[in-house]
Structure 1
Amino acid sequence: MTTFIISIVLLIVGYIVYGKVVERIFGINDDQETPAYSRNDGMDYMPMSWWKGSLIQLLNIAGTGPIFGAILGALYGPIAFVWIVIGCIFAGAVHDYFSGMMSLRHGGAQFPSLVGRYLGKYAKILTTILSICLMILVAAAFTAAPAQLISSLTPLSFTACLLVIFAYLLLAAVLPVNRIIGKVYPVFGAILIFMAVSIGIGMFFFEEPIPNLTFSNLHPGELPIWPLLMVTISCGAISGFHSTQSPIIARTLKKESEGRKVFYGAMIGEGVIALVWAAAGMTFFGSTGALQTALDAGGPGGVVNEISISTLGVFGGLLAIMGIVILPITTGDTALRSSRMMLAELLGQLTKTDMMKKKGTLALLIIPVALPALFLSMIDYNFLWRYVGWSNQVVATVMLWTGAMYLLKNHKFHWICSIPALFMTAVVSTYVFYAPEGFSMDYGISMLLGGIIWVAVAAWFIRKLISQKSQDKYQITESKAG
């Protein structure tokens, strides 16, 4: 119990203290006109109040991610609390802040364009491909689960449910941001918060107390904590998907000082939600072994349903069903929306035309993502989710390196991005060799190969540091000579 309460307090303090540090290092300027005004197009660029933006951002980045991922991460025991707190404050919230504020500073640019500007054109090409693939995987994964639940509760078949959901996704992704997203999604964001608060209060009445911190690995399958926990709990700690969503809200901010509340704050909120559901998973079933049995029987959705009904009664069951159906769908449609923005930006750069003004073309840009997403949503959900996890964290790592290079080139304290970037580089490098969806190698060999990649990336960054210092010295010399 004590560990859980301290973890909540640390997240709040992290927002108040470290969030302000990050904001000061980035350097805000409220006198600078934001893209919401300078590029107002009545579609994606338009001013929106910060509180609406915060709730929409929370919903876009969260969905069921910090619920399902946290429950799966609870299998490792209270060590999951440590990763959520540290990851959220020093990596995830920093990642979200920079992905949103750098987009705002560059006219609402999408994530791949930011990568291209600071890591080079080849990195941009690879990131564009990886980001769109991630959008396809997310749209598929976050559509399959609610379709399965709806089909089990209604006479509709799974395929019919998928088609209905995808019809909605297409509509929401092409309508102006203030039509559905701006009006309805703040309500869904409030539901997400209400679920977490209700379960958080209900946990104090569970038969078993919330376990306190132990560094022992309690996973019943004896899976290693490193690097699996860091990929299992992504939403709630750090998630690359967020870097594709932040530009949606960056295009609606009225002033730069709102960025900390919207981007850093929403990630801290997601961390609190993840803590609540991780604690509920550890506590409700009495042991990680019993939690694994429940997951085997009904999956994360079944676990959420059982905890909600037992804690909040029939109302809790209805709330859980709403969450499992509505929250993933809202993530799916913003995934399609952001992919549409990426393709429009890429196509506009190739054709030298403003694709934002071609409304019919914008609708057509959804199809290359929607069709493969619809196909993938029909395959095994667990297989699909594993690939979402790794690609998600690779994107997060690239975004952190982009933020580090932005700070380095602007002569600012880059370590707030480069240290978590180095950490996540080690995570994804080791994971790809060890995980079943990777090369399924021996753990020791995976650690060795991951370490080699980490050294190579670290050496690349050191060269960048040396190059930047040399360039700065040259400029100072030239200035004095002039």
Structure 2
Amino acid sequence: MVWFLICVGILLSGYFTYGKFVEKVFGPMPERPTPATTSADGVDYVPMSNKKIYLIQLLNIAGLGPIFGPILGALYGPVAMLWIVIGCIFAGAVHDYFSGMLSVRSNGSSVPNVVGEQLGTIARHFMNIFAVILLLLVGIVFVLGPAKLLANLADMGVTFWVAVIFAYYIIATIVPIDKIIGRFYPFFGALLLFMSVGLVIGLAVSDHNFYSQGLNFAENLHPTDLPLWPLLFITIACGAVSGFHATQSPLMARCMKNESAGRFVFYGAMIGEGVIALIWCTLGLSFYDNTEALNATLAAGGPAAVVHEVSTSLLGSVGGILAVLGVIVLPITSGDTAFRSARLIVADFMKLPQQAMSRRLMIAVPMFVIGFIISKAEFGVIWRYFGWANQTTAMIMLWAAAAYLAKEGKLHWICTIPATFMTAVTITYLANATIGFNLPMQISTILGIGTAVVALVAFLWKFKAASRVALQTDL
């Protein structure tokens, strides 16, 4: 528990130190009107209070990722907690802040338009397709996950709960954002708070010992010897750095009344998600005697089985059910906004205003039909594609943020360094994974690092060339 508290303390201090530094580099302008007031439409552009926006942003981004990912990441040992802390402060929260604030500066534009403004038309068209695919995968993953948990609580079958959750998603996707999302999420937030605090207290007073596995950060403890690089950085996405968040931040960018709230809403919500990830990673490391025991439970029923077993054991039957409901809330409150974001991205691309219900249905219905069909595929395969697409989106968004800072003559390295790292991660994974090119790890790593270096050199060259042009123009 001591190591867990140290990690939480570092995360919180990161918000007040590095988060403030990132905010200073960007330079928010409190006097500048935001899209919530300049483009208010009563559907998607709706002014809300900072506290409500923060809570919605946290629930939007904190789906199954910061629970299932850290549980799976715990198989690698305590090093997983290091990645959550370092990744969250220096990559994930930075990514979320810029994806939100660049959207604010672009009248609440969705991520493809934000990327396109900084990286060009080709990048915009690529992200239009890629982001919608990612959001469909997210929505499907966040249907199947909670459906399995609900099936464990109430024996009505996974298919029944999939249908129920899809029905809710349809309603939440097409109604104005303040009717369901803005009204009921505070209650869901209370449930999330109970789950988080309750499990930490339950672990603290139990006889489970984190140190039974030792604090060995150098050793890979994975029971099946899966490589730490690059799998850990794909497995733990939400809670460290996640491209899905770039699709969610514009939702709240359209509701934020002042740019000065950006650090609290975007950087702060990511820190909050990092704490959730730390809780579940700690539970995975502490509840079970070793990674072999954790892996046995995962093999029997997946991360959902771990959630159910840990929650009911630490909090009893009633408390365990409430904790599991808290875990169920997270993916559902992210899945509905995933489909909502996909609707808005398609609407932006088609230049189709969304005030009329018929136009919202025109986009939403085909998406849900496609999503339901894909949901019939194997969950593990969908999750792997989601993991790669998620981190690739984060990489692209970080490069877009770096380009913005470079054009503005600001310290682009706060985005360039994590963008370069995530380029190496995603390319290595794609080259090595069975869902990719299935190349040997050594060759995959060379390709990943080589691509990252080439991307960095190209970025620096383009920035230098742009600076020369600007200087000549000034002269």
Q: How many residues align?
A: 472
Distance in 1 separating the partners of 2:149 and 2:255 = 34
* Structure 2 partner of 1:351: none
Using the TM superposition, name which of 205-214 and 423-432 deviates more.
205-214
* Structure 2 partner of 1:437: 435
1:328 matches 2:335 = no
Contact 2:420/2:453 (CA < 8 Å) preserved in 1? no
Question: Residue 271 and residue 155 in structure 1: after superposition, are their counterparts in 2 closer, same or farther (change >3 A)?
Answer: closer
* Structure 2 partner of 1:291: 294
Distance in 2 separating the partners of 1:75 and 1:162 = 29
Deviation at 1:166, TM superposition (A): 1.1
Distance in 2 separating the partners of 1:161 and 1:233 = 26
* Structure 1 partner of 2:14: 14
* Structure 2 partner of 1:373: 371
Contact 1:50/1:253 (CA < 8 Å) preserved in 2? yes
Distance in 2 separating the partners of 1:208 and 1:475 = 66
Question: Residue 157 and residue 8 in structure 1: after superposition, are their counterparts in 2 closer, same or farther (change >3 A)?
Answer: closer
The residue type equivalent to 1:266 in the other structure is A
SS in 1 for 2:17: helix
* Structure 2 partner of 1:44: 44
Using the TM superposition, name which of 264-273 and 147-156 deviates more.
147-156
Deviation at 1:157, TM superposition (A): 4.2
Deviation at 1:210, TM superposition (A): 2.0
Contact 1:134/1:392 (CA < 8 Å) preserved in 2? yes
The residue type equivalent to 2:44 in the other structure is D
Q: Deviations 1:252-281 (Å, cap 9, x if unpaired)?
A: 111011111110000000001111110110
* Structure 1 partner of 2:349: 346
Deviation at 1:371, TM superposition (A): 1.5
**Unaligned segments of structure 1, at least 5 residues:** 349-353, 478-482
* Structure 2 partner of 1:111: 111
The residue type equivalent to 1:271 in the other structure is G
The residue type equivalent to 2:66 in the other structure is P
Deviation at 1:356, TM superposition (A): 3.2
Question: Residue 335 and residue 239 in structure 1: after superposition, are their counterparts in 2 closer, same or farther (change >3 A)?
Answer: same
Question: Residue 231 and residue 263 in structure 1: after superposition, are their counterparts in 2 closer, same or farther (change >3 A)?
Answer: same
* Structure 2 partner of 1:249: 252
Contact 2:148/2:304 (CA < 8 Å) preserved in 1? no
Contact 1:36/1:46 (CA < 8 Å) preserved in 2? yes
Using the TM superposition, name which of 460-469 and 8-17 deviates more.
460-469
The residue type equivalent to 2:60 in the other structure is N
Question: Residue 149 and residue 272 in structure 1: after superposition, are their counterparts in 2 closer, same or farther (change >3 A)?
Answer: closer
* Structure 1 partner of 2:222: 219
Distance in 1 separating the partners of 2:116 and 2:221 = 42
The residue type equivalent to 1:218 in the other structure is L
The residue type equivalent to 1:445 in the other structure is I
Deviation at 1:207, TM superposition (A): 2.4
Contact 1:147/1:162 (CA < 8 Å) preserved in 2? yes
Alignment of 1:442-457 (within 5 A): 442-457=440-455
Deviation at 1:362, TM superposition (A): 1.9
1:274 matches 2:277 = yes
Contact 2:407/2:463 (CA < 8 Å) preserved in 1? no
SS in 2 for 1:356: coil
Contact 1:77/1:218 (CA < 8 Å) preserved in 2? yes
* Structure 2 partner of 1:480: none
TM-score normalised by length of structure 2: 0.96
TM-score normalised by length of structure 1: 0.95
Distance in 2 separating the partners of 1:153 and 1:89 = 36
Question: Residue 179 and residue 110 in structure 1: after superposition, are their counterparts in 2 closer, same or farther (change >3 A)?
Answer: same
Distance in 2 separating the partners of 1:420 and 1:397 = 8
* Structure 1 partner of 2:59: 59
SS in 2 for 1:216: coil
Contact 1:206/1:284 (CA < 8 Å) preserved in 2? no
Contact 2:59/2:334 (CA < 8 Å) preserved in 1? yes
**Unaligned segments of structure 2, at least 5 residues:** none
* Structure 2 partner of 1:81: 81
Alignment of 1:43-192 (within 5 A): 43-154=43-154, 156-192=156-192
Distance in 2 separating the partners of 1:150 and 1:312 = 18
* Structure 2 partner of 1:359: 357
Q: Deviations 1:329-374 (Å, cap 9, x if unpaired)?
A: 22111011000110110001xxxxx613443212211123211211
1:35 matches 2:38 = no
Using the TM superposition, name which of 449-458 and 148-157 deviates more.
148-157
Contact 1:144/1:378 (CA < 8 Å) preserved in 2? no
Contact 1:43/1:177 (CA < 8 Å) preserved in 2? yes
Q: Which of residues 401, 413, 420 is equivalent to 1:403?
A: 401
Deviation at 1:442, TM superposition (A): 1.1
Distance in 2 separating the partners of 1:316 and 1:67 = 18
Q: Which of residues 413, 416, 425 is equivalent to 1:415?
A: 413
* Structure 2 partner of 1:390: 388
Contact 2:71/2:281 (CA < 8 Å) preserved in 1? yes
SS in 2 for 1:437: coil
SS in 1 for 2:431: helix
CA RMSD of aligned residues (A): 1.5
The percent identity for this pair of structures is: 48
Deviation at 1:215, TM superposition (A): 1.9
Distance in 2 separating the partners of 1:92 and 1:244 = 13
Question: Residue 247 and residue 274 in structure 1: after superposition, are their counterparts in 2 closer, same or farther (change >3 A)?
Answer: same
Deviation at 1:454, TM superposition (A): 1.7
Distance in 2 separating the partners of 1:320 and 1:201 = 12
SS in 2 for 1:31: coil
Q: Deviations 1:133-171 (Å, cap 9, x if unpaired)?
A: 001111111101222343455464433332222111011
Deviation at 1:325, TM superposition (A): 3.1
Distance in 2 separating the partners of 1:295 and 1:316 = 22
Contact 1:193/1:273 (CA < 8 Å) preserved in 2? no
Deviation at 1:82, TM superposition (A): 0.9
The residue type equivalent to 1:247 in the other structure is P
The residue type equivalent to 2:49 in the other structure is S
SS in 1 for 2:29: coil
Contact 1:96/1:267 (CA < 8 Å) preserved in 2? yes
The residue type equivalent to 2:410 in the other structure is K
Using the TM superposition, name which of 369-378 and 49-58 deviates more.
369-378
Deviation at 1:389, TM superposition (A): 0.2
The residue type equivalent to 1:422 in the other structure is T
Distance in 2 separating the partners of 1:368 and 1:468 = 43
Distance in 2 separating the partners of 1:153 and 1:218 = 32
Using the TM superposition, name which of 313-322 and 294-303 deviates more.
313-322
The residue type equivalent to 1:94 in the other structure is V
* Structure 1 partner of 2:467: 469
Distance in 2 separating the partners of 1:59 and 1:5 = 23
SS in 2 for 1:237: coil
* Structure 2 partner of 1:312: 315
